[in-house]
Structure 1
Amino acid sequence: MTSPTPLRDLPSEAHSRHGPRVEEKAPAANAPAASASVCLAAEEQSSPNLRHAFVEIATRVGAASMLSLFAYAAVRQWLAAPQRITLLLLVVSAFVTIGLSLFSRIPVKRDWRPLAFICSMGGTYYFLAVRLSPGSHLVSESVGATLQLLGIFWQLFAKASLRRSFGILPANRGVVSRGAYRFVRHPMYLGYFITDMGFLLVNFGLQNLLVYSCQFALQVVRIVREEQLLSADDGYRSYKTRVRFRVIPGVF
């Protein structure tokens, strides 16, 4: 590829096409206007950055506030019935999911489109709609708690693999292929699924069934949207060829 030809290397007629050489002073006369245009462009560029910074701060403050309110309500229920270990572990899982996201690094690129935002918020804050009062036991409390613990430990393993490259909204925070990401492309969601099933099977009811069904559907859409964003990265496309399955090996 050849570089653009400098003005001084152009034929002489290019300099004199629009009149005598004295007209070359015109740019100096227009310097204030050019300077104003540069300042205006800088302001337009800084405006989206300020808006994104505001949304970033608002998202994290809102996450901390909702998590605190939920934890307060859930712990009150647990204190009334200390044998409900799955309820306490639901709070722990929420802190693992959201608490660590408050300290994630700001991403290089993020998906701000409405559908991605709705799926991310719904798939993350679904626990606010969970019925905390006792429901039907499809499995014992100990079995449900075991599933929750397995899911929480797997989430922690996945988050440790990501380090600070973790957040709520879909974003490119760099391609990670170490740790849990050697087995599936979205191991965090596998941890969510195992933890949620542990709670649902012990606290089964129509409300919780609807909440978790919607949550699982939102997570699927969220995964697809994340992969659309990440697939613009050559490194991620290469990673997809090495790790076939998104969440559940052999299934999805």
Structure 2
Amino acid sequence: MLSPEQQRELTMPGHDNPSLPISTGLEAPRDSSPGRPRTHDELFEVVVRVSATLLLSLFAYSAVVHWRAEPGRITLLLLVVDAFLIMGLSLFARVPKKRDWGPVSFLCTMGATYYFLAVQLAPGTKLIPETLGAILQVSGILWQFFAKASLRGSFGLLPANRGIVSRGAYRFMRHPMYLGYLITDIGFLFTNFGWQNLLVYGIQFGLQVGRIIREERLLSADQSYRAYMGKVRYRVIPGIF
């Protein structure tokens, strides 16, 4: 004859199956928050994309004012086009799963991206003709388009693994977009030369090298990228770097 306590134990859910836990009548606390809080990445994307839009608008307005004073300065308009290409398309890039948030990467990226805000827009010394400078800028911009088209949306600001790409421009160098930046910047600098611009672009070139090194450090964790590095030897300039 079973006691009332033993009968209750036999009728408890899961008692006849040792693999199932016996309910204790206590439940784990539930998340009472109405929705998942925004992650650090999401907040970063909002801040960067809004600030980029505002800064680009202010920069474009200032550049157009200078251009209207001297309509023959084609390189100035192309500088605006290049700035919109670099940052404008980044506004529509997808958020990567893994990104380098290190302070060095962040400073290199922000400095190399927003450098145009420190460029002297007033006329400088023409080391090369305006037409030749414009040709260099157009060549650099077209190469950037080719590189970005090869990525098919896998681009952004901070170093990140957005997928390994080896097609298109990436068959010739590991970071072809930076070659486009270099050609475009040289076209403007040599047409609008001055000590301020020389300093700005010198720092910018150094920051771009820093971005490349940090980006490859992140991507090298991927075995596919290490194999890609074995096939494509140079980063930006074949035979040099």
For residues 135-150 of structure 1, the aligned pairs below 5 Å read 135-150=124-139
1:51 shift after superposition? 2.5
For residues 1-252 of structure 1, the aligned pairs below 5 Å read 28-29=23-24, 31-32=26-27, 35-36=28-29, 39=31, 49-252=38-241
Opposite residue 98 of structure 1, the aligned amino acid is M
- CA offset digits 1:136-193 (Å, max 9, x no partner): 1111101111110100000000000011101111111101111000000000000000
Percent identity over the alignment? Answer: 61
CA distance in 2, matches of 1:146, 1:59: 31
CA distance in 2, matches of 1:117, 1:61: 17
1:88 shift after superposition? 0.5
**SS where residue 89 of structure 1 aligns?**
helix
Q: Say if 1:67 and 1:241 are closer, same or farther in 2 by CA, change over 3 A.
A: same
Q: Say if 1:228 and 1:31 are closer, same or farther in 2 by CA, change over 3 A.
A: farther
Q: Say if 1:107 and 1:81 are closer, same or farther in 2 by CA, change over 3 A.
A: same
Opposite residue 112 of structure 1, the aligned amino acid is W
- Number of aligned pairs? 221
1:29 shift after superposition? 3.8
CA distance in 1, matches of 2:97, 2:21: 41
CA distance in 1, matches of 2:89, 2:100: 20
Q: Cα RMSD over matched residues? A: 1.9
TM-score, normalized by length of structure 1?
A: 0.83
Opposite residue 51 of structure 2, the aligned amino acid is G
**SS where residue 121 of structure 2 aligns?**
coil
1:39 shift after superposition? 4.5
Q: Say if 1:118 and 1:30 are closer, same or farther in 2 by CA, change over 3 A.
A: farther
CA distance in 2, matches of 1:166, 1:122: 17
CA distance in 2, matches of 1:82, 1:102: 30
Opposite residue 68 of structure 2, the aligned amino acid is L
**SS where residue 70 of structure 1 aligns?**
helix
Opposite residue 65 of structure 1, the aligned amino acid is L
Opposite residue 76 of structure 1, the aligned amino acid is V
Q: Say if 1:28 and 1:187 are closer, same or farther in 2 by CA, change over 3 A.
A: same
1:30 shift after superposition? 8.4
Unaligned runs of 5+ in 1: 1-23
Q: Give the match for residue 5 of structure 2.
A: none
1:248 shift after superposition? 0.5
- CA offset digits 1:219-250 (Å, max 9, x no partner): 00000000011111111111100100000000
